[in-house]
């Protein structure tokens, strides 16, 4: 059997971990730059706060309902997610972290009552981390996802076990196919056209026929819906094949200098991510555009090849600036730019050849020192001159909660009084 444990309204719940006064209250979290609503607590959902809605449109309404609003604090969420995942690892020898707030656990060979075990997991996560979760348990990953859905939507307990065909068939008949793991909106429409509307109909469909109509993945999904495991637990998450850092500017700009500062900053962040997964990249994808909604829309992109596979921030920033300088057009009011690191390879398999110099040892040492300092004193303790020193380019994060887990200055203060 496989369990899927999923944090309820993860980001909103993270904001409540160190704020007991906010538990049971409507809380929402905004995306980068305070643009959109990306998380809503249960109470916010009940108030009818819509998901992914531009914040400015409903700001007044939210204020009236006394909704607590936060800018996304991803470092805090990352730390709390790590605590959740570490706690979950105690419950199974084989796990797969599927996303920041979801983990699959292998329960094969576990003799206990699985419903009780699920309850124990849920209670422990609340007690140890103050994270509310739902637990779905079933023979396959796809069914575990459905069970998790049921745990949240149907049962109050937050734990659902689909251990017999009767149980999963009952649920499947009530679920539209787009609720199935791996079936997106477009594929859903194609299947609808074939007369398949709910999960049960898909489970009963002829796998080979469906395969001809769509893809082998759907065939696997059908097997999984019938309780036959086809998708194994992937214990080691693959390193990212592409790393993108992109952001809308807090303030639009037509200055080349400012655009280059933005891209330098994103390049530095991307290079740091690259080093943290111990990889090298050999190409950069650079892009920038103006606001789509304004006349004179301009967008452009290009790919820069690095002289050798690298994770060196100085080199990546230099090439990113060269590329962005070509994209820049005088007069255009840029709203967004970004960098993608492409052709990423694992460092340990990289073979330098005789004729290209490659990344030298000093560079590695220097980058190690920079990453060490930034880990220790906070991101941005040490930055590259190209990233600029004015505050204009930083994200709009007017409602950021303190980094309760990220800096000594911000750990909670507790009254002994």
Partner 1 sequence: MLIRLQPAAQDLSRQELPLYASRVRAGFPSPADDFIDRPLDLNEFLIKKPAATFFAWAEGDSLRDIGISQGDLLIIDRSAPHVHGAIVVAALDGELTCKILDTRRKQLLSANDEYPPINVDGREDMVIEGVVTHSIKRHLRQV
Both tokens of 255, joined, read 């200055």
Q: How far is the CB of 272 from partner 1 (least distance, A)?
A: 16
| 238 belongs to the binding site for partner 1 (CB under 8 A) | no
> 18: number of CA atoms within 13 Å, CB side?
15
Q: Which residues are bridge partners to 337 per DSSP?
A: 247, 288
CB of 245 to partner 1, least distance (A): 18
Task: Choose, by CB under 8 A, the member of 3, 253, 376, 396 that binds partner 1.
Answer: 376
> Using CB atoms within 10 A of its CB, is residue 250 exposed (0-12), middle (13-18) or buried (19+)?
middle
Among 155, 278, 377, 392, indicate the residue that binds partner 1 (CB under 8 A).
Answer: 377
Of the residues 383, 384, 395, 396, which one makes contact with partner 1 according to CB under 8 A: 383
Binds partner 1 (CB under 8 A): choice among 176, 307, 368, 412: 412
Q: What are phi and psi of 30, to 5 degrees?
A: -100, 150
Asked if 128 is part of the footprint of partner 1 (rule: CB under 8 A), the reply reads: yes
In contact, 132 and 8? CB cutoff 8 Å = yes
Dist. CA 134–CA 149, nearest whole Å = 8
Alpha-carbon distance of 287 to 244, in angstroms, equals 11
With contacts defined by CB under 8 A, how many residues of the chain interact with partner 1? Answer: 34
Does 303 sit near partner 1 (CB under 8 A)?
no
Q: Which is nearer to partner 1, 296 or 417 (CB)?
A: 417
Beta carbon of residue 417, minimum distance to partner 1 (angstroms, whole number): 4
Q: Give the contact letters, 255-294, x = binds to partner 1 (CB under 8 A), - = no.
A: ----------------------------------------
417 touches partner 1 by CB under 8 A? yes
Site string for partner 1, 26-65 (x = CB under 8 A): ----------------------------------------
**Contact between 353 and partner 1 (CB under 8 A)?**
no
Stretch that binds partner 1, among 106-114, 122-130, 176-184, 281-289 (CB under 8 A): 122-130
Verify binding: residue 177, partner 1, rule CB under 8 A: no
Among 87, 148, 221, 226, interactor with partner 1 by CB under 8 A: 87
- For 42, the 3-state DSSP assignment is helix
Q: Does 331 bind partner 1 (CB under 8 A)?
A: no
Q: Which stretch binds partner 1 (CB under 8 A): 42-50, 126-134, 138-146, 352-360?
A: 126-134
Interface residue with partner 1, options 35, 182, 227, 378 (CB under 8 A): 378
* Residue 251 touches partner 1, criterion: CB under 8 A: no
Residue 7 DSSP code: E
- Minimal distance in Å, beta carbon 90 to partner 1? 8
For residue 210, give the nearest of 221, 225, 198 by alpha carbon: 221
Sheet holding 299-310, edge to edge: 243-253, 334-346, 279-290, 299-310
Encoded tokens for 123 = 């209670």
State which residue, 208 or 392, has the beta carbon closest to partner 1. Answer: 392
Q: How far from 143 is each of 65, 150, 157, CA to CA, in Å?
A: 38, 10, 18
Residues in the chain: 417
- Piece of the chain touching partner 1 by CB under 8 A; list 159-167, 253-261, 332-340, 381-389: 381-389
Residues 379 and 265: beta-carbon distance below 8 Å: no
Is residue 408 close enough to count as binding partner 1 by CB under 8 A? yes
Applying CB under 8 A, does 129 fall inside the site for partner 1? yes
Burial class of 364 by CB neighbour count within 10 A (0 to 12, 13 to 18, 19+):
middle
Contacts 24+ apart (CB under 8 A), 403-407: 403/73, 403/75, 403/76, 404/17, 404/18, 404/76, 405/75, 405/76, 405/79, 405/80, 406/75, 406/76, 406/79, 406/378, 407/378
Quick one: which H or E segment has residue 359?
none
Strand segments, DSSP code E, in 9-157 are: 27-30, 37-40, 68-71, 95-99, 102-106, 133-138
313 contacts partner 1 (rule: CB under 8 A):
no
Q: Is 380 in the site for partner 1 (CB under 8 A)?
A: yes
CB 7 to partner 1: min, Å: 14
Kindly tell me which residue out of 42, 47, 115, 130 binds partner 1, with binding defined by CB under 8 A.
130
Positions touching partner 1 (CB under 8 A) are 18-23, 82-84, 86-87, 127-130, 376-378, 380-381, 383, 389, 404-405, 407-409, 411-417
């Amino acid at each position: 059997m496989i369990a899927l444990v999923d944090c309820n309204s993860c980001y909103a719940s993270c904001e409540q971990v160190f704020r007991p006064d906010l538990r049971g209250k409507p809380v929402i979290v905004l995306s980068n730059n305070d643009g959109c609503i990306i998380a809503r607590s249960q109470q916010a959902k009940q108030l009818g706060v819509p998901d992914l809605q531009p914040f400015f449109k409903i700001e007044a309404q939210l204020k009236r309902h006394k909704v607590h609003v936060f800018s996304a604090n991803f470092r805090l969420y990352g730390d709390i997610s790590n605590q959740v995942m570490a706690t979950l690892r105690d419950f199974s020898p084989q796990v797969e972290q599927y996303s920041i707030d979801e983990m699959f656990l292998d329960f094969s060979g576990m003799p206990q009552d699985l419903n009780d075990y699920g309850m124990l997991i849920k209670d422990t996560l609340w007690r140890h981390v103050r994270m509310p979760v739902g637990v779905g348990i079933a023979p396959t990953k796809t069914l575990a996802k459905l069970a998790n859905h049921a745990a949240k939507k149907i049962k109050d307990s937050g734990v659902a076990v689909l251990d017999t065909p009767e149980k999963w068939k009952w649920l499947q008949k009530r679920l539209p196919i787009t609720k199935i793991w791996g079936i997106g909106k477009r594929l859903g429409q194609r299947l609808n056209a074939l007369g398949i509307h709910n999960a049960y109909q898909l489970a009963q469909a002829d796998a080979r026929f469906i395969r001809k109509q769509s893809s082998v993945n759907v065939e696997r999904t059908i097997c999984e819906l019938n309780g036959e495991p086809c998708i194994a637990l992937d214990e080691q998450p693959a390193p990212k094949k592409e790393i993108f850092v992109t952001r809308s500017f807090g303030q639009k700009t037509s200055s080349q200098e400012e655009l280059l500062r933005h891209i330098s900053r994103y390049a530095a962040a991307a290079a740091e991510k690259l080093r943290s997964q111990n990889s090298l990249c050999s190409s950069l994808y650079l892009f920038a555009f103006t606001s789509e909604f304004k006349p004179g829309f301009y967008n452009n992109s290009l790919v820069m090849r690095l002289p050798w596979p690298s994770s060196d921030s100085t080199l990546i920033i230099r090439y990113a600036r060269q590329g962005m300088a070509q994209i820049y057009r005088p007069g255009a009011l840029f709203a967004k730019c970004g960098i993608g690191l492409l052709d990423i390879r694992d460092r340990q398999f990289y073979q330098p050849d005789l004729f290209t110099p490659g990344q030298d040892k000093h560079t590695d040492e220097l980058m190690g020192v920079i990453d060490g300092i930034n880990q220790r004193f906070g991101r941005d303790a040490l930055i590259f001159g190209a990233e600029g020193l004015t505050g204009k380019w930083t994200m709009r994060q007017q409602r950021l909660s303190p980094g309760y887990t990220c800096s000594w200055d911000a750990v909670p203060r507790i009254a002994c009084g």
